[in-house]
C-alpha cells in the first residue's frame, strides 16, 4: 500500500506489489488491512479461514437473472501514531480500458467508498468498499485503486488495488489442442500423432453434468454423443484437461425417443466437425461451448516435376547457384 507508482499504465495484475519502498513501508505509522477469506486444509478437510491482505479481490462474479451484482469487503485503517489524529480522503480510480479490462464508467460499474474518514491516535476505523455491477455490463475485468490520502499531509498517500471479473454463467471455454487429426491407426508411422485430440475446458459457474456432443459443421446436424461428464465436483475458473477429449468416434443419435442414443460407438468419416460441451446446472438450464476439428485420413501424395522416382547419385552436376 506504500509502493511507488509505476510510470506506465499497467493492470493491477501486472503491477503486483509494485515498486516497493521498504523504508517508507517500515516507518509508516498508518497500516491498511483488507479482511478477506481463503481456503485452507485442516485434517484433510478444506475449511475457510480469515485472510489479511493489502488488496481487494472480489473474484469472479456471474451475471444474475435480474438486478445488479453487489459485493463488499471490510478494510481496516489503523493509525499507530500515539499523538496525532488523522483524517483521510478516499478516491476511487478505475484502470483505463485495455486487453480484458472494460470501461467502468461506460458500463456503470461503481465502487462505493466514503469521501473521508477520521482515525484517532492509536485506533482503527473500518470501511466497507462495495462493488456494484449492472446486469447489462460488458463481460470482463474491472479493476483499479482506492487512493487514501492524509488531508493534512499530501505526501502521505496509500493505495489499495482491487479487481473483479464479471462473467456469464456456464462454460468459459473448450479448446481442442489439435486443429486436425487422423483416426486410421493402420497407416501408422513413427511420427504419427495419437489418433485423438486432448482438450482443455473451464467453467464459469457450477454445473451438474456435461454432455460432449459432436456436430457436423457443414450441415449443423448433431451426430451423437462422445460421453457424459459428472461436473458436480468441478470448480469454476479452474482449467481442466482431458487427454482423449476427441477420439473420432460417437454414440450416434438414433431418432428413436425410446432409445435416443446407440449403445455401440461408430468412427466418424473424414470431415469438418465441432465438439460441443452442453452443460446443465441445478435448475436444469443448459449452456453450450465448443471447438472445431478436422478428421483427415487421406495420405499425402508427392509428385516430382523434373526428377523421376528412384535412386540418384549426388554429384556436382545436380547443384546450382542461387542468390539468397
pLDDT for residue 16 is more than 80? no
Whole-number Å distance between alpha carbons of 258 and 280:
22
Q: 100 pLDDT band (50/70/90 cuts)?
A: confident
- Using 50, 70 and 90 to split pLDDT, how confident is the model at 156? confident
| DSSP codes, 28-91 | -SEEEEEEEEEEEEETTEEEEEEEEESSEEEEEEEPPSSS-EEEE-EEEEEE--SS--EEEEEE
Q: What is the CA radius of gyration of the chain?
A: 29
The fraction of the chain above a pLDDT of 70, given in percent, is 95
pLDDT band at 18, cuts 50/70/90? low
Rounded distance between C-alpha atoms, residue 131 and residue 133, angstroms: 7
In the predicted model, is pLDDT for residue 81 greater than 90? no
Residues sharing a CB contact under 8 Å with residue 143, sequence separation 6 or more, in sequence order = 11, 12, 13, 94, 95, 101, 161, 162, 163, 164
Domains by residue range for the chain, with CATH = 12-167 (2.60.40.10), 171-295 (2.60.40.2550)
Mean pLDDT of 64-76: 93
Please report the sign of the dihedral spanned by the C-alpha atoms of residue 210, residue 214, residue 216, residue 222.
negative
pLDDT digits (tens, 9 = 90+) for 205-215: 999 999 999 99
Of 15-19, 81-85, 249-253, 256-260, minimum mean pLDDT range: 15-19
The pLDDT-based confidence of 282 (bands split at 50, 70, 90) is very high
Is residue 146 over pLDDT 90? yes
If one compares 109 and 186, the residue with the highest pLDDT of the two is 109
d(CA 244, CA 241): 9
Q: What percentage of the chain reaches a pLDDT higher than 90?
A: 61
pLDDT over threshold 90, residue 131: yes
pLDDT attached to residue 38: 86
Over residues 176-197, the pLDDT tens digits come to 999 999 888 777 667 766 788 9
Confidence bin at 2 (pLDDT 50/70/90): low
Q: What is the mean pLDDT of the chain?
A: 89
Q: Which residues of 60-80 are buried (b: 16+ CB within 10 A; e: fewer)?
A: ebebeeeebbeeebebebebe
Q: Cell for 280?
A: 446443465
pLDDT of residue 22: 79
> What is the tens place of the pLDDT at every residue in 46-59?
888 988 988 999 98
pLDDT at position 25 is: 78
Cβ–Cβ contacts within 10 Å for residue 139, how many? 12
pLDDT above 80 (res 27): no
pTM value surpassing 0.85: no
Amino acid at each position: 500500500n506504500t509502493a511507488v507508482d509505476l510510470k506506465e499504465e499497467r493492470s493491477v495484475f501486472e503491477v503486483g506489489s509494485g515498486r516497493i519502498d521498504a523504508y517508507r513501508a517500515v516507518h509508516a505509522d498508518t497500516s491498511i488491512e483488507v479482511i478477506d477469506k481463503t481456503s485452507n486444509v485442516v485434517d484433510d478437510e478444506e475449511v475457510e479461514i480469515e485472510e489479511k491482505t493489502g488488496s481487494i479481490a472480489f473474484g469472479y462474479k456471474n451475471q444474475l437473472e435480474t438486478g445488479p451484482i453487489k459485493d463488499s469487503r471490510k478494510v481496516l485503517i489503523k493509525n499507530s501514531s500515539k499523538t496525532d489524529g488523522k483524517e483521510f480522503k478516499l478516491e476511487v480510480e478505475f484502470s483505463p480500458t485495455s486487453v480484458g479490462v472494460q470501461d467502468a464508467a461506460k458500463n456503470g460499474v461503481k465502487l462505493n467508498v466514503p469521501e473521508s474518514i477520521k482515525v484517532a491516535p492509536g485506533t482503527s476505523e473500518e470501511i466497507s468498499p462495495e462493488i456494484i455491477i449492472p446486469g447489462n455490463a460488458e463481460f470482463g475485468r474491472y479493476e483499479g485503486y482506492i487512493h487514501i490520502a492524509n488531508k493534512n499531509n499530501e505526501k502521505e498517500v496509500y493505495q489499495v488495488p482491487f479487481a473483479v471479473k464479471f462473467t456469464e454463467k456456464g462454460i468459459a471455454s473448450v479448446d481442442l489442442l489439435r486443429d486436425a487429426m487422423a483416426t486410421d491407426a493402420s497407416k501408422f508411422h513413427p511420427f504419427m500423432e495419437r489418433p485423438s485430440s486432448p482438450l482443455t475446458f473451464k467453467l464459469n459457474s457450477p454445473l451438474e453434468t456435461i454432455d460432449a456432443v459432436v456436430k457436423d459443421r457443414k450441415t449443423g446436424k448433431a451426430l451423437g454423443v462422445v460421453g457424459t461428464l459428472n461436473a458436480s465436483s468441478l470448480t469454476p475458473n479452474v482449467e481442466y484437461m482431458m487427454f482423449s477429449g476427441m477420439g473420432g468416434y460417437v454414440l450416434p443419435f438414433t431418432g428413436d425417443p425410446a432409445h435416443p442414443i446407440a449403445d455401440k460407438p461408430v468412427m466418424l468419416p473424414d470431415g469438418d466437425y465441432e465438439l460441443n460441451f452442453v452443460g446443465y446446472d441445478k435448475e436444469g438450464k443448459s449452456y453450450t461451448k465448443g471447438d472445431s476439428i478436422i478428421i483427415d485420413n487421406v495420405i499425402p501424395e508427392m509428385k516430382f516435376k523434373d526428377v523421376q522416382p528412384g535412386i540418384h547419385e549426388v554429384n556436382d552436376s545436380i547443384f546450382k547457384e542461387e542468390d539468397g
